[in-house]
Amino acid sequence: MVYVAIMKRVLIIGNSGGIGASLENEYTFRQWNCVGVSRSRHGLDFNEPETIQKTLSSIEGLFETIIIATGALTLNGYGPEKTIRSLTSQGMAEQMQINAIGPALVLSNIVRLIPKDCPARIAVLSARVGSIGDNRLGGWISYRASKAALNQIVHTASIEFARSHPQLVCFSLHPGTVETPLTKQFVASHPSCSASEIAPTLFEVIESRNAVDTGNFFDQNGLPVPW
């Protein structure tokens, strides 16, 4: 009798970004069947919400793992604020659109792509600065708030998903300080690594999560991050 190995499938939302592309390379190296979508390659634009449903509706089949690897620190020249006195409504709204509302709409459209009868994972890239309990420095109001909102979205979605997909883990993931175009002007004073260096570690963290971990927030070492 000949046994045919069935490749596991991973869907990476934002596979043209630094972390997303490196994770795609890592999963491919480990013999996974990778499907990726992004704004630059497929028109998935969080500023145009109608493109989210349109793009994701064209994807067929089931995935053992889905990764939402999107995010932005600086948008249209508006970067992290050093003080709340620098806050603008437009800048904050744009951060919320990209870092919270966009991923929420992705989550609302991907549950059909998750199997109900076997373990599966939804990993959503967040950031430690979105932790309210770990905030000791202040600043970065819009980015912090958008990532805190994202964490609430992920936690709430995980509760709903558990009712229909009891073997699914849906969680937020802080990838560490990674050297990408998104972070290049902010990493000089922080220990950092390249996206290709952290990808194997993130793979292990993502693939070692199980249903008991759903709704939680983990860092790049698999350790819990306070909300």
| Residue in the structure block whose two tokens are 């053992």 | 64
In 39-194 the beta strands, taken as DSSP E runs, fall at 65-68, 120-125, 168-173, 178-179, 193-194
What's the pLDDT at 189? 60
Give tens-digit pLDDT for 150-178: 999 999 999 999 999 999 999 999 999 88
- Identify whether the C-beta of residue 171 lies closer than 8 Å to the C-beta of residue 154: yes
**pLDDT band of 4, cuts 50, 70, 90:** very low
What's the pLDDT at 179? 78
Q: DSSP state, 57?
A: T
Q: DSSP state, 8?
A: P
Q: DSSP state, 84?
A: G
Residue 63's region, left for phi above 0, alpha for psi from -120 to 50, else beta, is beta
Name the CATH superfamily for 9-218: NAD(P)-binding Rossmann-like Domain (3.40.50.720)
The stretch 80-107 carries a mean pLDDT of 96
For the question of whether the overall pTM of this predicted structure is more than 0.85, the answer is yes
Q: DSSP state, 189?
A: T
What's the pLDDT at 181? 64
Of the chain, the percentage scoring pLDDT greater than 90 comes to 84
The stretch 26-39 carries a mean pLDDT of 97
Give tens-digit pLDDT for 174-227: 999 887 666 555 555 666 789 889 999 999 999 999 999 999 999 999 999 999
**pLDDT band of 116, cuts 50, 70, 90:** very high
Q: Report the distance separating Cα 96 and Cα 134, nearest Å.
A: 20
